[in-house]
Amino acid sequence: MSLEFRSECDDIEEAKSPSNTSVAAVAVKNGDASVYKIIHGYLKQKNNSIIKVAANVARKAASNKLSRKTSDVFDTLLQKQQSKWGNKAGPLLSGICYCIASCSMILLNKVVLSSYNFDAGISLMLYQNLISVLILLILELFRVISTEELTWKLIKVWIPVNLVFIGMLLTGMYSLKYINVAMVTILKNMTNIITAIGEIYIFRKGQNKKVWAALFLMIVSAVCGGITDLSFHLVGYTWQILNCFLTAGYSLTLRRLMDTAKQSTKSGSLNEVSMVLLNNALSIPFALILVIAFNEWEYVYQAEVIREPMFWVVATASGLLGLAISFSSVWFLHQTGPTTYSLVGSLNKVPISVAGILLFNVPVSVENFCSIVFGLFAGIFFAKAKMS
């Protein structure tokens, strides 16, 4: 035992002795470790007067108690304020991230396919899927996220969902190449109509009168928008109609097979991250087959645009944003709820449409603009009707 430690123990034992009735002794008897240190510090300074030691200890103890009480009060107030700020900031921040990611994704895909005149939509989808899988595997490696193990049992159940998912992505890309962004957002409203009809026949789920009224307004806006579209392109509209059917089909197939998919996992559940990984990972072999089947690899190899660094920056950013939409939508849904999520999703079409018209110099007539605005409000009305 060192001399310093022995000296400290002697000091404490002396303070504990029954004959010592000073304030220091009382404090030590109560087991206040901080007082032990104070006494030891004063004794080391050769201030052996127990009266002085007791007085200094009393003052120090009172100060410590006051400081602790004040600190506790401030800590409580700070925690309450941080909780209050967190409750307000969480939904707002997650909503902003979701809106930015979804808007930017559509606009960047439009840039890649139209501005760069890139005619290889399958290759673009393959590249975006590779980016998503790589990022998810890195996040899982560092234990930022957790995903379900990809077993053959789960993969066999998920293949129908994935095939519809691939068709949805590809038709969406090809339609975006030929149609302006504003009209794409309006025509996407037709997905809600197909989904509502599918729910009746598959899940026996009816809709209220307000929902059917909103769906009727969507049909009117889509028809009027197509008639008054100055940049009407039959091929683009065909791709977009197919996209509406496949998007509705993806939603319905996902709901139909979700319970079976959960039973195919080891944990008995399937989170959003696992679904994102499943879709992107399973899309890669199918995309490779399609690239070879349609001889798209030869076009990509010869295309001048792939030698431009800025093209790869935009293509990579669109892939990252696709993954960001998945995460931000889950975060936003968790922070708010299905009602707010649905409404914000409808409102989000407004800035996308405006940005698409302004950024790509789309020729718009007064009639077509009115049809677009009418369609946007029909989407908002639909979201509110679903809430009732």
Same domain, residue pair 49 and 102: no
Q: How far apart (Å, rounded) are the C-alpha atoms in residues 365 and 227?
A: 11
| Geometric angle at alpha carbon 222, from 101 and 177, rounded to 5° | 50
65 lies in some domain: yes
Examine residue 82 and state whether it is found in any structural domain, yes or no.
no
Q: Which of 239, 245, 256 is nearest to 195 (CA)?
A: 245
CB 124 within 8 A of CB 118: yes
> From CA 384, how far away is CA 140, in angstroms rounded?
38
User: Domain ends where: 18, 43, 75?
Assistant: 75
Residue with the bigger pLDDT between 37 and 99: it is 99
260 assigned to some structural domain: yes
pLDDT in tens, 5-58: 444 444 444 444 444 444 444 444 444 455 445 545 545 554 445 545 555 544
270 lies in the same domain as 238: yes
Residue scoring higher pLDDT (65 or 289): 289
- Is residue 84 included in any domain, yes or no? no
Residue 86 lies in a domain: no
User: For 118-143, how does the pLDDT look when each residue is reduced to its tens digit (9 = 90+)?
Assistant: 889 999 999 999 999 999 999 999 98
Note whether 32 and 100 are same-domain residues.
no
With CA atoms as reference, report the closest residue to 169 among 319, 316, 294: 319
Helices (H), the chain: 3-16, 23-29, 33-44, 50-110, 121-141, 152-178, 181-187, 190-203, 209-227, 234-263, 272-293, 296-302, 309-335, 338-347, 349-359, 366-387
Q: Please give the Cα distance from 183 to 39 (Å, whole number).
A: 81
Does the residue 83 lie in any domain? Answer: no
Both 113 and 217 in a single domain? yes
* Residue 133 domain-assigned (yes or no): yes
* 291 and 154 within one domain: yes
The answer on 45 and 150 residing in a single domain is no
Each residue's pLDDT tens digit, 257-283 = 888 888 888 888 888 888 889 989 999
Q: Tell me, yes or no, whether 107 and 205 share the same domain.
A: yes
Q: What is the pTM of this model?
A: 0.71
**Residues 103 and 68 both lie in one domain:** no
Task: For residues 299 and 232, state if they share a domain.
Answer: yes
Q: Which amino acid is at 313?
A: V
In a shared domain, residues 129 and 50: no
Q: Are residues 147 and 9 in the same domain?
A: no
Shared domain for 285 and 208, answered yes or no, is yes
Q: Which of 75, 105, 137 is the last residue of a domain?
A: 75
Count structural domains, the chain: 2
Average of per-residue pLDDT values in the chain: 78
- The answer to whether residue 373 sits within a structural domain is yes
**For the residues of 17-64, what is the DSSP string, one character each?**
STT--SHHHHHHHTT-HHHHHHHHHHHHTT---HHHHHHHHHHHHHHH
Lowest mean pLDDT among 127-131, 170-174, 261-265, 349-353: 349-353
* Domain boundary residue, one of 11, 42, 75: 75
- Contact present, 350 and 99 (Cβ < 8 Å): no
Distances (CA, A) of 17 to 30, 43, 195: 13, 16, 84
At residue 228, the 3 state secondary structure works out as coil
Show the domain range for 47. Answer: 3-75
Q: What is the number of other CB atoms lying within 10 angstroms of the CB of residue 184?
A: 23
